[in-house]
Amino acid sequence: MANKTWLNAREQRAWRGFHLVSNELTAELGRQLARDSGVSAADYAVLVALSETPTGRMRFRDLGQILGWERSRISHQINRMETRRTVERQSCDDDARGFNASITEAGRAVIAAAAPLHVRAVRHCFIDLLTPEQLETLGDITDIVATHLANEHNAHPTAAS
């Protein structure tokens, strides 16, 4: 029986490669987003999530689940974005203790300007480097891991940026 304590060479290559590329790709795309659009990755993630809803509004707790963020992080992020007038905090109609985040017209303008540049960067740094078959395989792999995390570790799937 193989030793399950340590990763073998193939497992180490896969794990370390995934970990390194994930961190470096996230950092590079964040730098490009800030440089090209003046938008932080956190602002962009919130604006994408809100802009994809029919009303442009979402409860803080739902936004936190989609982004994989704790309640305090959502609250602080929304505070910062309110000062830039890209989102508004609104009371929930059905829960006096809850709040909604709502995208503003300024927020819609920010996402409309940033999204094409971000997609171009995602294509350049990731999508265009892979074959359709590799993209399909990667999608299968991420589905397997996401399902495991959701079922076994109470994780919530996050939104793609």
Alpha-carbon gap, residue 73 to 45, rounded angstroms: 13
If one counts every other C-beta atom within 10 angstroms of the C-beta of residue 99, the result is 17
The contacts of residue 45 (CB under 8 Å, 6+ apart) are 67, 159, 161
Mean pLDDT of 139-160: 82
Show the tokens assigned to 61. 């707790």
Cα angle: 154, vertex 156, 157; to 5 degrees:
140
CATH number of 37-153: 1.10.10.10
Q: What is the pTM of this model?
A: 0.87
Per-residue pLDDT at 157 exceeds 70: no
Q: Mind listing the pLDDT tens digit for each residue in 90-130? A: 988 887 788 999 999 999 999 999 999 999 999 999 999 99
Mean pLDDT of 130-156: 92
pLDDT, position 156: 61
pLDDT, position 160: 43
Host H or E run for residue 99: strand 99-103
Domain boundaries, the chain: 37-153
